[in-house]
Amino acid sequence: MKIIVSTVVVAPLQEVWRAYTTPEDIKLWNTASPDWHTTAASVDLRPGGKFSSRMEAKDGSFGFDFAGEYTKVVPLQFIEYAFGDRVGLVEFKDGGEGVTITVTFDGEQTHSEEHQRTGWQAILDSFSRHVVGKLASQ
């Protein structure tokens, strides 16, 4: 099952791309809820390069690594990646109202499609807030 989430970020494309692909930024926005955080992130943004984000509950009760390998990267346009036996695609489309980011990924069998969509959408919404807030503070 393919799951798709999307958001519009009112920011320049270059800034959106940078924030999406920079480990220090990823640690600030990669969360689906306030009781979780990303404690470590690494990015080797090239085909064959690896990525990893360590996501943990703030109370220390649970954590996991979201990791994989980039399969295709076209700067400022899209990132394809594999994680386990699943694949994902992040597309960046510059438009009049901002940058539309669309994430398409293979769902897994443990959680419902709606649960997965809700979680990934929350992370994407957190990303948008991060970018807009960062620009507003500059």
Q: What is the pLDDT confidence band of residue 121, given thresholds at 50, 70 and 90? A: very high
Residue 21 belongs to what domain range?
2-136
Give the count of domains, the chain.
1
**Taking the model in full, what pTM does it have?**
0.93
Q: What DSSP string runs through 39-87?
A: EEEEE--STT-EEEEEEEETTSS-EEEEEEEEEEEETTTEEEEEETTEE
Question: Residue 134: beta bridge partners?
Answer: none
- CATH number of the domain bearing residue 129: 3.30.530.20
Look at residue 129 in the predicted model and tell me its pLDDT.
Answer: 94
Look at residue 98 in the predicted model and tell me its pLDDT.
Answer: 95
pLDDT value at 97 more than 90: no
- Mean pLDDT in the chain? 95
CA gap 47, 15 in Å, rounded: 22
